[in-house]
Amino acid sequence: MMRKTLLTTGLIFAALSLAHAESIAPKKVSEQLVGIAVDAPLWDKAQASEVTLYPQLTTVSLDLDGQKAMQEGEPLPMTVRALVSDTHLALHMSWPDETLSVAGMDETNRYGDAFAVQFPQRISADLPYIGMGHAGNPAIIHLKRYGQGVAQPMPSNCREEEGALICSRYGAGQKAGSVESVALTLDAPNLNLYNEELAAYQKLQRARVDADYQRTFVAEGFGTTTELRKQNGAFYSSMRYEDGHWNAVLVRSLKDDLVNLDRAVVPVALAAWDGDQAGRDGIKWLSGWTPVVLGEASREAKLMAILNEEPTGDIERGEATAVANCASCHRFGEHRMAMEMMAPDLSWIGGQATLEYIRESILEPHAVVVTGYNQHAHRATPWYNEVEGQLRSTMPAFDFLPESDIEDMVAYFHSLK
Ligand code: HEC
């Protein structure tokens, strides 16, 4: 459950975000980074940056709980630290989450908390679509999900009943504690609170949880993910839950067959899933492209200009123009008269898209076509058509509007975050 924590941390964060722009500055170190612990003292050397993740509304799902969680979700502040060696880039991410969620043993309706780190496969000022790339411009995604390893068998003298673990030593029907509490009390100091059977079970649980699910994908848009074999896109990761926060580490080579991060500036986007809020697939929190500044930023002037562009238009006028031109299809902010499923909900677009992307979406809707409408549930309102193998948006181009109207709308949508 992320929301409650956010209401409090959100306020503190609002003050912080004024203090510094969102960029990540890794600390150069000589130490070996693969295998670095979540609480390694080396992290103290790295500068902490705040990156905000926003509910991703632009992909749609049949899962009503998940949709509701996204629609009611609040921005999620993530603290990011980075280290770089001659060969590897390491990221440390910390974010609030009220509950630890582990995928259920044999259940399909419980999800583990997870995070992902996304890089453009080709690093240039022409950024892939933030939602997992777009046709011709792929993104690389490293995903880690907590405790979705292979389910271990129950100890032979124990069984699960209505979510509680029952071991024979206790006598018929006596409950020894819920499975959930076992998952939450993996720490060694708590072991003596339980009997031997429970300790043995905890060991199994730990093995199960340690066998975390981690995968690398290459994608050219939501729903086009291709999973890569282990040796391609290899990365090291771990995550630990403590004091209402997740702390996670991800380490990857600066350079491999997939991507070359040995550059002055590398854009990265971060995602988090809250298992407790039906979080999986597209039901997630997502940041915009954020620069990791590894060298002289001026060497990537064009990319930095895109990432740091400030709006010049008038927000209030932009809102009026947007209501007149866009609200028949899109829902955004307070303006929710459009039919559901006509077009992506733009309520958090300013937190995830660059100004350039918003501008391009208005002037050239076909340039990046956002897929992900639910074909089965809403056949009547597809977001795009396919013409000779090319995706064509059903959104008209607004290139007939005066440039000042466009820039006002860009400023308005940029403010939606
Ligand atoms: C006729 C319906 C319609 C109208 C009117 C319309 N759009 Fe769209 N828009 C869509 C559809 C459908 C998509 C998804 C397909 C695509 O990517 O083009 C979309 C996509 C977008 C996206 C990309 C969303 C994302 O998730 O990245 C943006 C930004 C956008 N529209 C802005 C606007 C703005 C601003 C206006 C008004 C000037 C507008 N749209 C008017 C239908 C519409």
Domains of the chain: which residue ranges?
Answer: 3-149+212-295, 158-208, 315-415
Put simply, whether the predicted model's pTM sits higher than 0.75 gets the answer yes
pLDDT at 311 > cutoff 70: yes
**pLDDT score, position 9:** 41
Asked whether the predicted pLDDT for residue 277 surpasses 60, the reply is no
Q: For the domain 315-415, what is the CATH code?
A: 1.10.760.10
C-alpha 227, offset from chain centre = 17
Nearest atom in ligand 1 to the alpha carbon of residue 328 is: 5
- Compute, in angstroms, the gap from residue 143 CA to the centroid of ligand 1: 28
pLDDT at 151 over 80: no
For atom 12 of ligand 1, which residue has the closest CA?
Answer: 383
What mean pLDDT is predicted for residues 241-245?
A: 89
User: For ligand 1, atom 26, which residue shows the shortest CA distance?
Assistant: 58
Take atom 40 of ligand 1 and give the residue whose Cα is closest: 326
Alpha-carbon gap, residue 86 to 107, rounded angstroms: 43
User: Which residues form the pocket of ligand 1, taking CB atoms under 6 Å from any ligand atom?
Assistant: 58, 322, 325-326, 328-330, 343-344, 346, 349, 358, 361-362, 365, 369-370, 383-384, 393-395, 398, 409
Q: Does domain 3-149+212-295 have CATH number 2.60.410.10?
A: no
Q: What is the DSSP string of 171-182?
A: -TT----BHHHH
Q: Tell which atom from ligand 1 comes closest to the C-alpha of 369.
A: 17
pLDDT at 280 (0 to 100): 53
Q: What average pLDDT does this structure show over 58-79? A: 73
Distances 117 to 77, 222, 285, 374 between C-alpha atoms, Å: 15, 15, 12, 25
pLDDT of 5 above 50? no
Does the pLDDT value for residue 179 go beyond 50? no
